[in-house]
Amino acid sequence: MTNVSIIVLDFGSQYTQLIARRLREDKIYCEILPYHASIEDIKAKNPKGIILSGGPSSVYSPNAYEVDKAIYKLGLPILGICYGMQRIAVDFGGSVIRSDHHEYGKSELHIIDVGENCSPLLKDCDDNAIVWMSHSDKVDRLPEGFTPIATSANSPYAAIADESRKIYALQYHPEVQHTEEGYLMLRNFAKNICLVDEKWKMEHFLKEQIKLIREKVGTGKVLCGLSGGVDSSVVAAMLYEAIGDQLIPVFVDNGLLRKGEREQVEQVFKLNLKAPLVTVDAVDNFLGKLAGVSDPEQKRKIIGHTFIEEFEREAKKHDGIKFLAQGTLYPDVIESISVNGPSEVIKSHHNVGGLPDWMDFELIEPLRELFKDEVRKIGLELGLPESMINRHPFPGPGLAIRIMGDVNVPDLTILREADVILLDELKASGYYAKTWQAFAVLLNVKSVGVMGDNRTYDNTICVRVVEAVDGMTATFAHLPHDLLERISRRIINEVDGINRVVYDISSKPPATIEWE
C-alpha cells in the first residue's frame, strides 16, 4: 500500500483534484478526503501534512462547511487555499468579509520579504509573479500569530503564515496552471515544510491496480466497453494484463462516431490487443432514442442508458460475466457528481454515476482517480503505441453533444465532413500534436451568405481547438491565421450546407471545453 504523504480535505472546489495532481507530478503521493472526514480517518492515513481546498461557499453562510478542528492539534503543517484560507482565519479568531469586488482571474503577487527571511512556502518564487484568484470573500483581520507574507492589488493578505505552528494560507489557487509558480509553492509546502521524501510513480499505481483487479475479479469475466480512445484502450490493456482471457472487450458503434472511426478502432485493436474484439452495431437503437431530443443533459443520459442496455444484451451471450469495466477519469467524476466533497455539478457524463439497480454487474473503474496525462503514462508502461496514446480526447456521447439541437443523420453527416477536414489540416500543419483537443461544432444557426452569384442561407460550423495539460483548465489555441483561413475555406467549399465558420476563443474556466 502506498504511503500517504499529504491529505487534501475537499471543500467543493472544481480544482481540488488538481492539488493532488500537481503533487503527483513531483512524485508526492496524496489522497483526497471530504472536508468532514473524522480525525480518526485522517490519523489512520499517517500523513505528513494537510491541505484545505477551495470551495464555492462562504464561511459565514448558515450551512458553512467546517473541518474537524482536531486537525489543528495534530502538530502537522497545514496549507489553506481560498475557502481553506478563510476557514483557517475564522477558526483561529480572525475575520472574513465580503469583498467589494469579486476577484476572478489573474493578479500579481507581491512577496513581502524575498530575502533570507522569506517564508519557506515562497522560497525561490519570483516577486510579481502571476497568480489566479477566484473569490468573493476575503480575510479582513488576521488571527493572532499570523502575519502576511504576500499581497496583491486587491488584498493585503494574499498569503499569510503562522511560521511557529507551520500553518499557511493562500487567497489564490496555486494548483491551476494560470498561477505561474504555484507548482513551486506546493512543492515547498510538501518537501521543505512537511519534509516529504517518499517518491510515488505511475508504475506503482499500475502494479497496485492490477493486483486489486485480480483480487476483485477472481475467476469471473469482465465486459469492457471500448471507444477506441485513450481511456478505454488503457483500461482494456490493464485488464488483459491482469486477467487475460477473462476479458471480453466490446466496441459499440452508436452512430455518433467520427468519419471512419469504427474501421480504425477495429484495426487498432486487432494489432494491439490479443483479446478478440466484439463489435456491436447499435446505430439504429441510439439514433432512434435520440430523435427529437435537444436538451444536452437528456442526450447524455439517453446515451449512457443505451450503452448499458447494449452491454447487457451482449453480456447475455457470454457465461460468467460479473463485471463491467469503464474508462472513467476524475475530470468526468468531478464535473458530474460530488464524490469526495460538496463539488458543484457542471454536467453529467455518460459513464459516471454507477449502474442502474436492475443491472447485475459490478463496476470496475481503475482510472477513476486519474487525469488524462497520467493515463497516457500508464498506457506507455503497458506498451501501447504512441499513436493510440496521444489521440485527442473524444467524449463518450460522441458527436451528439457537438450538434446544437436534436441529433439526426443529415446533421451528423455535415459535422463528420467538417470534423475530418479540421483534423486533417491540424495534422498536416503539426498543430494536432501541439494541442490538447480539437473538434467542430454544428451550431444549427443559419446566416446569409453568397456563393458564386447565388444567395445562401446555410448553417454555421464552430471550430474549437484548446491547449491544456489535464482538461480541468484550458486556453484556446492561438492558431496561425493562414491555418484558420485554410480550415474555413475547405469546410465552406467542401461541406454542403455550411456557409460560415467561426473560431471559439473562450477558455476554461469560464467556459467548458465541449459545448454541451
Cβ-Cβ contacts under 8 Å for 38 (sequence gap 6 or more): 68
Choose among 148, 6, 8: nearest CA to 81.
8
492: which 3 cell numbers? 465552406
CB–CB of 114/134 below 8 Å? no
Check whether 231 is labelled as a binding-site residue. Answer: yes
Residue 161's alpha-carbon distances to 5, 113, 122, 326, in angstroms, are 21, 13, 11, 43
Check whether 61 is labelled as a binding-site residue. Answer: no
Beta bridge partner(s), residue 265: none
Check whether 354 is labelled as a binding-site residue. Answer: no
Chain length of the chain: 516
- What positions carry a catalytic annotation? 82, 173, 175
Check whether 229 is labelled as a binding-site residue. Answer: yes
φ, ψ dihedrals at 403, nearest 5°: -115, 115
CB–CB of 440/258 below 8 Å? no
437: which 3 cell numbers? 483537443
Check whether 452 is labelled as a binding-site residue. Answer: no
48: which 3 cell numbers? 505528513
Parallel, antiparallel, or unpaired for β 247-253 and 221-226?
A: parallel
Residue 86's alpha-carbon distances to 35, 133, 135, in angstroms, are 14, 14, 10
Check whether 419 is labelled as a binding-site residue. Answer: no
Cis ω for the linkage preceding 77 (within 30 of 0): no
Check whether 430 is labelled as a binding-site residue. Answer: no
**Residue 265: what residue type?**
V
232: which 3 cell numbers? 478505454
Parallel, antiparallel, or unpaired for β 362-364 and 278-281?
A: unpaired
Residue 16's alpha-carbon distances to 84, 180, 335, in angstroms, are 11, 18, 12
For the annotated binding site, the residues are: 227-233
For the annotated binding site for ATP, the residues are: 227-233
